[in-house]
Chains A and B, each alone.
Chain A
């Protein structure tokens, strides 16, 4: 059995409850022996010695006492194991959540959200059985049989030897099946996690499935997913059950051997009835913890499989954004240019470079437009300023300070961001806007709404601003959803603005009015805007053109018109119509 060291490491971090649990388990084992002793004494007295009932009071009272103490100890053992487990779960959960938070969108985008959520919830939950059941049982499976052996040996040597010989069969056998069962449990866990990721994706994309008339076909895919999961689970369970059966048979045969042996010796008179009864009562208890270990083995293995997913996230090797300590000053951020120097970057697991030695400057207090064909790395360039990723080589600095020297959280406070594909929470319109600045006054909220052209929308919603806007803004039109993201930027008063195609779904009229409000917003702020429409680009003070991840040209509109063929062509394309 190749137990996961990292899991045992967690126990070491929270030692006390587990030690207490082990201790009470062992003490409960002692009480059990006491119980067997007093019970056999009582029955012996009545049955063989024909003592009157009154003479039995003492052993029966002892039996009751041992029972009560054992019960309390067992309870304490459970409780402590449980306490330790919950501590571990809490810790792991926090670590996981913090890692996802730290690694940001890059990690989250790289896996299905349903899977990530499954790991955070079910995965951490699956550790429970491992720590609260499997680990204590592992200990009990050693401690209790040893205690019983110590009690049985002086009483009846032959029975002791039988126990001693049959007991190791159990761990040996378990070691044999452990490996195969482990692989199967991994597969079972994987099919559960695949199912969860797949279901969420399918639920969210149901409309798209319907568009292609493929939603009902999914019935088959679900049947398949369910069937795979069932098959994988049954394979694991079959092994688990079969091992239980074998353990049980070993236990039974052991019990039978001892019972028959004792019977024969009783018959020949070479053994006292009380010792016989004592041993016989203890025999099932000798095998029980071993058998239970077989049962909890499966639960424990699920925890180990889940732990692999958990540690894959916790111990991911790919670089994460470096968090500095300095706090950027608002004033200086407002007045210093941001410069890229030889910045190269490739996404994890991607073979091509998304940015190739990009060098450019974003002047302070004005607007810089980034243009370039689709897929040329514009959004990637922005994600560096947003601190979602750090360059593989090269530096980005504001003034002379590299961005990495700042605390990410403090830096992000100074940025307003309108992503290309904004994510709206399934909460009310008010919450979706206010999240960018919870302290905003009602007036500021109103202003942001008016600026982003949402006042008519808010008025039309059943409960106005307090209407839930649906999954990813399902209750809003495409343009309206985009403007909610714009409203977030308006309400957050920050010196840097990062806008990734903020008006791509807007009609000309509204765009004109939005452009005016964006202009007001952009005054005295460093603004970086990705835009495809040349009307927006033209108004920018500075233009950077990307192609295939490299900066091709940069300059003002006039300069670009003169020297840049792509720009000229794009200009022509934008006006590709006879007027």
Chain B
């Protein structure tokens, strides 16, 4: 129930549009009733062979109601659907605005396919909340009221009887429907979400699935989900058919009941016989408003399920909060860490443990250390993807929490270890870093990243995750992208790991030139040209094992020296 109210609150801004649509819907149904009513009156009256003039009002009525019904229906649909799609588009925006601050820290536990399901389909199913859930009962109630007054004019009994049938069809059948099909609609949504996850995994991991012999198993899972979904849909369709039939039956029952209530009146001469045909046709027409009600109940269930899934995410608190009055990024950008510690939520080990260092502006620093020692974590903290657990990270003497996170990120070019290339053109991927970049700037960035020959391929589609490029090409696009951004701080996290030595050397050379007046932080496993760095920080198990220049560290004969030896031995053996 709470979910329902929260959902209704979401659509409140469109209340007047929705009210207008519901009213128009009622007017259209009313015109339908009017049309049949006047037509019946017309012929019944005519059968009594009155003068033609007496029929005039009926003839006009038939025309009026006939045209009014069509036109009203048209406007009702237009208004209702336009409103619905406006609501949808806004819900999507609102959902995006709500999850954007959650990424990446709070979204980690969700599967992206599941999030996709929520943003596209769960929100899509809310499409129904207005047209199929909220509006039909309103129209039905209004129509029922209208019939009450109409029939009450001839006979109270008939009106009561019709009300009874309306209640049976409008409340009884929907109740029956909820009872019989409980769980179907949410079950379908659940299967769809499952299928979405399976399908996306399937698309992205089809190679792995093939080579590990799991393709058939995965296909079976996909089909099992499809079968289960179809089973539920079939149940729903059967239910729909039954409800439609039952409503039809009730409609005919209502006709018989109302007729039998009016006939004695006609027999006794209390009412004119004209009433008979009028009443019959009006009763038939009034059920048009009742027909969609069983489906309303079903859609309500789906909406509540979808709503719960949306709120589940929206109720998470973001990891990183933008300060109220963010400081401007200072001119002087020395990076300093003091007793910095960090533990990933749920993890039992500290990813970073009391780390302290200073990276003066314009200096070049290398961070090395075993895999899993916390190097990338350090960049995540600096990028404000996570908050430090203890200690402080500062830029130009100011704690980085004081800056606007986006402003901070604009001052850092990061080539992340997990390169992500979007499935668009190569050009779009580059422009991400600098939308206003000129052709010349793009060309020079490509050139420095060793992709001069890509100039002609700029408008090629990169494929899912850029997989239509080779591994090294993907990395070099990422490097070109960072160069294009041209921020004062450059961080390279294993940016050349997938490159052959020759290309790598070239790019490192270009990078050195590019970062001459910038702060450069290189995270690397390949101890190459290390003497070029002002400082080398050696991380191990989350703490700093050593730091100093290449020479100093070698003379210390510690971890770094051993790492260096190992790569040397491998090379010269």
Q: Assess the A110–B468 pair: CB atoms within 8 A.
A: yes
Q: Assess the A409–B230 pair: CB atoms within 8 A.
A: no
How does the 8 Å CB contact mask read for B438-455 relative to A, with 1 for contact and 0 for none? 000000000000100000
Size category of the binding interface on chain B: 35 or more
The answer to whether the Cβ of A401 comes within 8 Å of any Cβ in the partner chain is: no
Q: Assess the B107–A110 pair: CB atoms within 8 A.
A: no
Q: Assess the A508–B525 pair: CB atoms within 8 A.
A: yes
Q: Assess the B468–A347 pair: CB atoms within 8 A.
A: yes
Q: Assess the A212–B103 pair: CB atoms within 8 A.
A: no
Q: Assess the A374–B476 pair: CB atoms within 8 A.
A: yes
**Contacts of B244-259 to chain A: CB distance below 8 A:** 244-246, 248-249, 252, 255-256, 259
The answer to whether the Cβ of B11 comes within 8 Å of any Cβ in the partner chain is: no
The answer to whether the Cβ of B2 comes within 8 Å of any Cβ in the partner chain is: no
Size category of the binding interface on chain A: 35 or more
List the B side residues contacting A201 at CB < 8 Å. Answer: 422-424
The answer to whether the Cβ of A184 comes within 8 Å of any Cβ in the partner chain is: no
A206–B416 Cα distance when bound, in Å, is 13
Q: Assess the B205–A267 pair: CB atoms within 8 A.
A: no
A574–B210 Cα distance when bound, in Å, is 36
The answer to whether the Cβ of B504 comes within 8 Å of any Cβ in the partner chain is: yes
How does the 8 Å CB contact mask read for A270-293 relative to B, with 1 for contact and 0 for none? 000100110011001000000000
The answer to whether the Cβ of A331 comes within 8 Å of any Cβ in the partner chain is: no
Q: Assess the B499–A97 pair: CB atoms within 8 A.
A: no
Q: Assess the B409–A566 pair: CB atoms within 8 A.
A: no
**Contacts of A377-422 to chain B: CB distance below 8 A:** 378-379, 386, 388, 408-409, 412-413, 415-417, 419-422
A475–B351 Cα distance when bound, in Å, is 12
Q: Assess the A245–B73 pair: CB atoms within 8 A.
A: yes
How does the 8 Å CB contact mask read for A67-89 relative to B, with 1 for contact and 0 for none? 11011101100110011001001
- Checking A202, A511, A535, A573 against B502 with a beta-carbon cut-off of 8 angstroms, the contacting residue is A573
A576–B248 Cα distance when bound, in Å, is 86
List the A side residues contacting B376 at CB < 8 Å. Answer: 477-478
The answer to whether the Cβ of A361 comes within 8 Å of any Cβ in the partner chain is: no
A578–B532 Cα distance when bound, in Å, is 11
List the A side residues contacting B206 at CB < 8 Å. Answer: 100-101, 104-105, 108
The answer to whether the Cβ of B144 comes within 8 Å of any Cβ in the partner chain is: no
Q: Assess the A82–B237 pair: CB atoms within 8 A.
A: yes
Measured between C-beta atoms, what is the minimum distance from B403 to chain A in Å?
12
- Checking A74, A108, A222, A416 against B245 with a beta-carbon cut-off of 8 angstroms, the contacting residue is A74
User: Known: A277-B277, A375-B470, A478-B417. Is A245-B237 also a contact (CB below 8 A)?
Assistant: no
Interface segment among B221-229, B291-299, B301-309: the answer is B221-229
User: Known: A199-B119, A457-B372. Is A255-B66 also a contact (CB below 8 A)?
Assistant: yes
- Checking A212, A216, A244, A508 against B74 with a beta-carbon cut-off of 8 angstroms, the contacting residue is A244
The answer to whether the Cβ of A444 comes within 8 Å of any Cβ in the partner chain is: no
- Nearest chain B residue, comparing its CB with the CB of A267: B46
The answer to whether the Cβ of A234 comes within 8 Å of any Cβ in the partner chain is: yes
Q: Assess the B280–A43 pair: CB atoms within 8 A.
A: yes
The answer to whether the Cβ of B349 comes within 8 Å of any Cβ in the partner chain is: yes
How does the 8 Å CB contact mask read for B177-218 relative to A, with 1 for contact and 0 for none? 000000000000000100110011111111111111111100
List the A side residues contacting B473 at CB < 8 Å. Answer: 374-375
A506–B371 Cα distance when bound, in Å, is 6
User: Known: A47-B276, A420-B471, A488-B212. Is A508-B240 also a contact (CB below 8 A)?
Assistant: no
The answer to whether the Cβ of A211 comes within 8 Å of any Cβ in the partner chain is: yes
The answer to whether the Cβ of B242 comes within 8 Å of any Cβ in the partner chain is: yes
List the B side residues contacting A501 at CB < 8 Å. Answer: 471, 498
Measured between C-beta atoms, what is the minimum distance from B115 to chain A in Å?
5
A276–B104 Cα distance when bound, in Å, is 72
Q: Assess the B563–A508 pair: CB atoms within 8 A.
A: yes
A578–B274 Cα distance when bound, in Å, is 111
Q: Assess the B103–A374 pair: CB atoms within 8 A.
A: no
- Nearest chain B residue, comparing its CB with the CB of A211: B414
Q: Assess the A230–B497 pair: CB atoms within 8 A.
A: no
**Contacts of A114-152 to chain B: CB distance below 8 A:** 114, 116-117, 120-122, 128, 132
Interface segment among A161-169, A170-178, A466-474: the answer is A466-474
A352–B329 Cα distance when bound, in Å, is 47
Measured between C-beta atoms, what is the minimum distance from A382 to chain B in Å?
11
Interface segment among A4-12, A256-264, A304-312: the answer is A256-264
- Nearest chain B residue, comparing its CB with the CB of A98: B219
Interface segment among B84-92, B146-154, B333-341: the answer is B84-92
Q: Assess the B204–A210 pair: CB atoms within 8 A.
A: no
Measured between C-beta atoms, what is the minimum distance from B335 to chain A in Å?
17
User: Known: A97-B222, A506-B525. Is A532-B89 also a contact (CB below 8 A)?
Assistant: no
List the A side residues contacting B211 at CB < 8 Å. Answer: 386, 412, 415-417
Q: Add 5 more A-B contacts to A252-B66, A461-B347 (CB < 8 A).
A: A104-B207, A204-B420, A260-B59, A263-B59, A480-B371
7 A-B pairs with least C-beta separation: A374-B472, A479-B371, A226-B89, A535-B570, A252-B66, A117-B199, A47-B273
